[in-house]
Amino acid sequence: MKKAEIVVLPTLRNADSETIGLNAATQTFDLVGNATVADYYKGTHAVTSVEKCNACHDALGTTFHSGGYGGDVVVCRTCHVSSSGGSHLEMQSRGIDSYVHAIHKFPGV
């Protein structure tokens, strides 16, 4: 292993115990160089932009996960990897890149 992704998933509930959507925080860390790596999964390496996701999903990840998963597509890559078993529509052989593309090929999406 040469790099690790550090993720913080915040949780906040209002007075009615409803979960509030918040942006997760991520940072890539280079274990060999012992330093953080800026924009490792962002820019040209991004799966897509958060803005594109939020155009339909309102707050990325919070509509199908808990409230702390929003705001950063990199968070998706920390769990949706080909070595992790999938469920429902996701296949075990798919990482988030191919999963997102497959989901959005369904009619009406």
Please give the Cα distance from 84 to 79 (Å, whole number).
7
Q: Is 94 inside any structural domain?
A: yes
Q: Is 39 inside any structural domain?
A: yes
How many structural domains comprise the chain? 1
CB 32 within 8 A of CB 2: yes
User: Mean of the pLDDT values across residues 26-33?
Assistant: 94
Kindly tell me if the per-residue pLDDT of 98 is higher than 60: yes
Kindly tell me if the per-residue pLDDT of 33 is higher than 90: yes
36 band by pLDDT with thresholds 50, 70 and 90 = very high
Q: Is 16 inside any structural domain?
A: yes
User: Mean of the pLDDT values across residues 90-98?
Assistant: 63
Residue 70 DSSP label: B
Q: Which amino acid is at 4?
A: A
pTM of structure: 0.68
Q: Is 109 inside any structural domain?
A: no
Kindly tell me if the per-residue pLDDT of 52 is higher than 90: no
Question: Which residues fall within 8 angstroms of residue 86, CB to CB, at 6 or more apart?
Answer: 92, 94, 99
Provide the domain limits for residue 69.
3-103
Q: Is 108 inside any structural domain?
A: no
